[in-house]
Amino acid sequence: MTPEQQRHRNQLAFVASGAELEIGERADCPLPLEQLVATTGTEPYMREYFSGGLTAHVYRIHAGGRDWTLKRARERCKVQNLDGQTSFLNEIQRRAELRALKRDPRFATGLRAIVDTHYASFRHGVLLSPWIDGEPVRTWDERQLVELFEALLALLLGGLFEWDLCPGNTLDDGQIRLFDFGYMYPFDPLRQFNSNGTATPEFHAAERFETRQFFAHLLPLERQGDRLALAAFDTEKRIALETYRRLRSELDARGASTTVVDWLSDIITGWQQGLNGDLDALYLREAWRSHWLDLQDDLDGQTCTAATFSRIDWLEQAVRERYHDLQLLVSVEAAETLQTKLRNARRMARQWQVTA
Ligand SMILES: Nc1ncnc2c1ncn2[C@@H]1O[C@H](COP(=O)(O)OP(=O)(O)OP(=O)(O)O)[C@@H](O)[C@H]1O
Ligand SMILES: [Mg+2]
């Protein structure tokens, strides 16, 4: 059984058992639990309703003199796969672990970015956090990148792997904040690359950020001229490199397997070579990987947006203009095969278009 199958099995067994998983004290809720459970979005304490959430109804409420985020589980998650079906339970499980990690002095600073959980009950389908008075991240400047990677480092060392670092899951209120843990899974950082064990070495924290978010952010910069995009990429990569060096030395000191240490060393060496030499080649390699993977994600989830079409445009242009360079950097199929696949992708994306 793969680690993923094992997790699904354990989570489904937990759901079937009828057991409760609670974080915090019911008595500390700013409104009676029954009232939170019955919230529909029309109450006087309601400030805002986010209807977009796939797993949960998300409300901004006002109670006890401040604003809170109330997440209520949907009867049925809109994502029709096992990860989707178990994502609310998963989020509460991870929040219980995060709460413990945040209280551990070794992780407290690194996990500043992680929103607190004031109260949660799996059986009542309720999750209450302080409201983050922030904005989506538009620029990804140095301060924001440093804060994000600091949080990622602490999460990895704490044994938690975040898969979904998409723009909708990061906010900035003067400090980068993470608050959606529906697709964060536990793993053993000393022996595993991510929550798939050692089966998928291509997925790691910096890759997740670049794929789900950062390369989409670089697209408009590319249109203003390659120099801007390359400079932004250089900043991000240097911060990622420093983070991975710290990660490797920490894991090494804790007795990580050579498989894990060598895997990190290979990534670090590849980045170093790009940063000290051909930055453009490193950019092309990471951009290709990011746009390709995220496109597959959008098609698999049947949720395509304007960003999906921008990615297809980028990939088509890369095949047209940089195919020779690509061949030297990554293993790619024949140009005609790629063009056919991208044409099909565009057709499917039109079919599955949703508004962002
Ligand atoms: N604590 C918070 N403070 C401020 N805004 C929040 C907070 N929690 C959630 N939001 C807002 O609500 C939106 C949806 O929240 P969240 O991502 O947690 O829900 P979700 O159902 O898991 O969504 P999805 O499955 O679509 O990712 C976020 O994109 C964000 O704008
Ligand atoms: Mg989300």
pLDDT at 89: 95
Instruction: Please check whether residues 176 and 124 belong to one and the same domain.
Output: no
For ligand 1, atom 18, the nearest C-alpha belongs to 180
User: Does 161 map to a domain?
Assistant: no
CA of 70 to the centre of ligand 1 (A): 10
Instruction: Please check whether residues 117 and 185 belong to one and the same domain.
Output: no
Which residues span the domain enclosing 236? Answer: 170-351
Instruction: Please check whether residues 82 and 209 belong to one and the same domain.
Output: no
pLDDT at 356: 56
pLDDT at 303: 82
Neighbours of 272 (CB within 10 A): 14
Place of tokens 């998963």: 90
User: Does 112 map to a domain?
Assistant: yes
User: Does 55 map to a domain?
Assistant: yes
Run of H or E including 218: helix 215-223
Instruction: Please check whether residues 116 and 177 belong to one and the same domain.
Output: no
User: Does 151 map to a domain?
Assistant: no
Q: Which ligand is nearest to the CA of 54?
A: 1
CA of 165 to the centre of ligand 2 (A): 9
CA of 176 to the centre of ligand 2 (A): 15
CA of 52 to the centre of ligand 1 (A): 9
Instruction: Please check whether residues 26 and 124 belong to one and the same domain.
Output: yes
For ligand 1, atom 31, the nearest C-alpha belongs to 168
Cα separation, 255 vs 251, in Å, equals 6
Candidates 163, 171, 173, 303: which one to mutate for ligand 1, based on the most atoms within 8 Å of Cβ?
A: 171
Instruction: Please check whether residues 223 and 305 belong to one and the same domain.
Output: yes
Nearest atom in ligand 1 to 168's CA: 29
Instruction: Please check whether residues 245 and 324 belong to one and the same domain.
Output: yes
Torsion of CA 155, 159, 165, 170, to 10 degrees: -30
User: Does 306 map to a domain?
Assistant: yes
Cα separation, 349 vs 351, in Å, equals 5
CA of 210 to the centre of ligand 1 (A): 20
CA of 168 to the centre of ligand 2 (A): 6
pLDDT at 291: 98
For ligand 1, atom 17, the nearest C-alpha belongs to 180
Enumerate residues lining ligand 1, CB below 6 A: 50, 52-56, 58, 69, 115, 129, 131-132, 168-169, 171, 179-180, 182
Q: Which ligand is nearest to the CA of 71?
A: 1
227: helix, coil or strand? helix
pLDDT at 220: 95
Instruction: Please check whether residues 207 and 332 belong to one and the same domain.
Output: yes
E strands present in 66-183: 66-73, 119-121, 126-130, 135-136, 160-162, 170-172, 176-178
Instruction: Please check whether residues 96 and 244 belong to one and the same domain.
Output: no
Contact 213, 170 (CB under 8 A): yes
Q: Give how many domains the chain has, as a whole number.
A: 2
Nearest to 162 by CA among 144, 180, 176, 150: 180
Q: Which of 109, 131, 153 is a domain's end point?
A: 131
The token pair that represents 188 in the structure block:
């053993």
Q: Which of 131, 159, 189 is a domain's end point?
A: 131
pLDDT at 29: 97
CA of 303 to the centre of ligand 2 (A): 14
Nearest atom in ligand 1 to 182's CA: 22
Instruction: Please check whether residues 113 and 196 belong to one and the same domain.
Output: no
pLDDT per residue of the chain (356 residues) written in tens, 0 to 9: 999 999 999 999 999 999 999 999 999 999 999 999 999 999 999 999 987 777 789 999 999 999 999 999 987 666 667 777 889 999 999 999 999 999 999 999 999 999 999 999 999 999 999 999 999 999 899 999 999 999 999 999 999 999 999 999 999 999 999 999 999 999 999 999 999 999 999 999 999 999 999 999 999 999 998 899 999 999 999 999 999 999 999 999 999 999 999 999 999 999 999 999 999 999 999 999 999 999 999 998 888 899 999 999 999 999 999 999 999 999 999 999 999 999 999 999 999 888 75
Q: Which ligand is nearest to the CA of 90?
A: 1
E strands present in the chain: 22-23, 46-50, 56-63, 66-73, 119-121, 126-130, 135-136, 160-162, 170-172, 176-178, 184-186
Instruction: Please check whether residues 114 and 188 belong to one and the same domain.
Output: no
User: Does 323 map to a domain?
Assistant: yes
User: Does 15 map to a domain?
Assistant: yes
Q: Which of 104, 131, 158 is a domain's end point?
A: 131
Instruction: Please check whether residues 102 and 237 belong to one and the same domain.
Output: no
pLDDT at 83: 79
User: Does 22 map to a domain?
Assistant: yes
